[in-house]
Amino acid sequence: MKERTRTTAQFSCRDCGRQWNALGEVHCPECHHHFSGYTAFDLHLAGGQHRNPGEITHSETFQRLLVGLRTPLGTIWQGSCRRPSESRAS
Ligand SMILES: [Zn+2]
Ligand SMILES: [Zn+2]
C-alpha cells in the first residue's frame, strides 16, 4: 500500500492534527491555536488564561493585536503591528 498523502511538515499536534514546519512557531496544546512565535503566544496567554486570538485588542486603541494568516497548513496568528524596539526614547 502506498501512502497517499505524505506529510512534509516536521511537527504536528497529536490532538488536532495541525502541522507546521517552523521551529519557532508555537502551538497551544490547550486550545490548538497556532502562533508565529512566543510573542504572539504570550498575547494569547496574557493574564494567565487562554484568549481567543481574534479578540485580543489593545486596551486603548482597540486595535486587534493578532491577525490570522492563512497558510496551506492552517491559520497562523501573528502580531498585527511589528514595532521595532525604539519605543523607549527617553
Ligand atoms: Zn491556548
Ligand atoms: Zn493541536
Q: What is the 89 CA–ligand 1 centroid distance (Å)?
A: 34
Across the chain, mean pLDDT equals: 87
Provide mean pLDDT across the span 13-32: 96
Q: How far is the CA of 3 from the centre of ligand 1 (A)?
A: 32
* Structural domain spans, the chain: 11-79
d(CA 55, CA 72) in angstroms, rounded, equals: 23
Instruction: Concatenate the DSSP letters of all residues of 28-55 into one string.
Output: -TTT--EESSHHHHHHHTGGGS---GGG
Ligand nearest to the CA of 45: 1
4 pLDDT tier (thresholds 50, 70, 90)? low
Residue whose grid cell is 505524505: 6
Compute how many other C-beta atoms are within 10 angstroms of the C-beta atom of residue 71.
Answer: 11
Q: Which ligand is nearest to the CA of 13?
A: 2
52 confidence band (pLDDT: 50, 70, 90):
very high
Q: Would the pLDDT of 88 be above 90?
A: no
CA of 86 to the centre of ligand 2 (A): 35
Determine if the pTM surpasses 0.85. Answer: no
3 state SS of 4: coil
Contact call for residues 75 and 34 (beta carbons, < 8 A)? yes
pLDDT-based confidence at 89, cuts 50/70/90?
A: very low
